[in-house]
Amino acid sequence: MPLFRRDAARREATPLDGVDTVLADLDGVVYAGAGAIPYAVESLNRARSGARIGYITNNASRTDASVAAHLSELGLPTRPDEIVTSPQAAVRLLAERVAPGATILVVGGDGLIDELTKAGFAVTRSADDAPAAVVQGFAPEVDWKQLAEAAFALQTPEDEGGIPWIATNTDWTIPQSRGIAPGNGTLVSAVHTAVGRLATVAGKPETPIFEEAVARFDATSPLFLGDRLDTDIAGASRAGMRSVLVLTGIDRPKHVLAAPAGSRPDYILADLRGLFQPYPTVVTDGDRVTVGSSTVRVDGAHIVIERAGDQLDLLRAGARAIWDSGRAIFGFRVPEQLYADPFRSR
């Protein structure tokens, strides 16, 4: 189902129509820090009446059991097996590259250690223990010492006989209750700067974590909910899933307008209540795009707002106009009204 359907005569479907499994990111979609994002809990509980619900997270700092407990405390009854984590994806990659029971140097927290231990690997924090690989994931307690031990273990490139380096994810940022904080990508980059090597990435936007989710939930028509274009939406696209970008987390309207091919969502929502609302059709007339109450036109190097209407419809129309032009956003003069951002506070 495309982002905007051209058949205006048909009933406007909701994003949930035809969906058998809803797969949701957590940070920025369900919660920010410890607290739930407005409307997320009630919306996901409502969606459960018509679809299976699962969660996919790149955050490697906690176990699947602790994440499930957190969601249950927020009012979303959840089992550990309904959580698909980047450490789980990392362990599957690791099992293809090292011997069973091998010693693995861990940079990260309980979520990563728990999955490695369950898979039968030995865990160390020291490069002096001759680890067979380094696995790196986010945890608030990761410090210089852990990063340095990883660098010591990764001095030799893998193609010259060095050991594998697997990162659970490379999200640059992570939403917290006080704002946006550095994510695992910044920590992986620190090690990369020291050793001049690139990590193999297990989580979003790579496909293994999505493939595990589809298999675990036996999904035939999944819908993925995310807040990041570069990981959530790009990963869902690579995995062949329809996707929702919800404007409650990292990426903002200006990022939507600039989204490259392969990172463009099927739906853009202000918050998860939009899952149940008819999604507006698109009417395209040459370089003019109308979505709901808003009309945007491409005029040479200018994006012209002919009718502002609802701000969310305006963003949808502007995005479609720019995306369909085949030109990058820096080739246009874009009015500030098009990327106004009243959504974060909702």
Q: For 282-335, how does the pLDDT look when each residue is reduced to its tens digit (9 = 90+)?
A: 999 999 999 999 999 999 999 999 999 999 999 999 999 999 999 999 989 999
pLDDT (0 to 100) of residue 6: 45
3-state secondary structure 61-91: CCCHHHHHHHHHHHCCCCCHHHEEEHHHHHH
Statement to judge: residues 289 and 250 lie in one domain:
no
- Structural domain range at position 330: 282-338
Q: In the numeric block, which tokens belong to residue 34? A: 């410890």
pLDDT (0 to 100) of residue 221: 97
Cβ neighbours of residue 271 closer than 8 Å, sequence gap 6 or more: 37, 38, 39, 40, 43, 246, 247, 248, 343, 346
CA 73, 220, 62, 116 torsion-angle sign? positive
Amino acid at 46: R
Cβ neighbours of residue 290 closer than 8 Å, sequence gap 6 or more: 282, 283, 284, 296, 307, 317
Instruction: Evaluate whether residue 69 is within a structural domain.
Output: no
Under 8 Å between Cβ of 198 and 191 = no
Statement to judge: residues 50 and 131 lie in one domain:
no
- Least Cα distance to 134 among 95, 169, 163 occurs for 163
Structural domain count, the chain? 3
| Residue corresponding to tokens 């739930």 | 36
Instruction: Evaluate whether residue 1 is within a structural domain.
Output: no
Instruction: Evaluate whether residue 269 is within a structural domain.
Output: yes
- Least Cα distance to 230 among 188, 170, 312 occurs for 170
Statement to judge: residues 191 and 249 lie in one domain:
no
Query: In Å, how far from its chain's centre is CA 52?
Result: 19
Q: Which residues of the chain have pLDDT under 70?
A: 1-11, 345-346
Statement to judge: residues 234 and 210 lie in one domain:
yes
The bridge status of strand 288-291 relative to strand 282-285 is antiparallel
Of 169, 201, 233, which residue constitutes the final position of a domain? 201
Statement to judge: residues 183 and 119 lie in one domain:
yes
Statement to judge: residues 267 and 288 lie in one domain:
no
Instruction: Evaluate whether residue 7 is within a structural domain.
Output: no
Statement to judge: residues 193 and 92 lie in one domain:
yes
Statement to judge: residues 157 and 211 lie in one domain:
no
Instruction: Evaluate whether residue 261 is within a structural domain.
Output: yes
Instruction: Evaluate whether residue 179 is within a structural domain.
Output: yes
pLDDT (0 to 100) of residue 345: 54
Of 149, 184, 201, which residue constitutes the final position of a domain? 201
Statement to judge: residues 236 and 334 lie in one domain:
no
For residue 100, whether the previous peptide bond is cis, meaning omega lies within 30 degrees of 0, is no
Q: What is the CATH number of the domain that holds 145?
A: 3.40.50.1000
Under 8 Å between Cβ of 236 and 243 = yes
pLDDT (0 to 100) of residue 59: 83
Statement to judge: residues 190 and 232 lie in one domain:
no
- Show which residues are catalytic: 25, 27
How far is residue 205's CA from residue 209's CA, in Å, rounded to a whole number?
Answer: 9
Per 3-state DSSP, what percentage of the chain is helix, strand, and coil (rounded to 5)? 35, 20, 45
Question: pTM of the entire structure?
Answer: 0.85
Instruction: Evaluate whether residue 188 is within a structural domain.
Output: yes
Statement to judge: residues 53 and 128 lie in one domain:
no
pLDDT (0 to 100) of residue 12: 84
Statement to judge: residues 181 and 286 lie in one domain:
no
How far is residue 132's CA from residue 145's CA, in Å, rounded to a whole number?
Answer: 19
Of 261, 276, 291, which residue constitutes the final position of a domain? 276
Instruction: Evaluate whether residue 259 is within a structural domain.
Output: yes
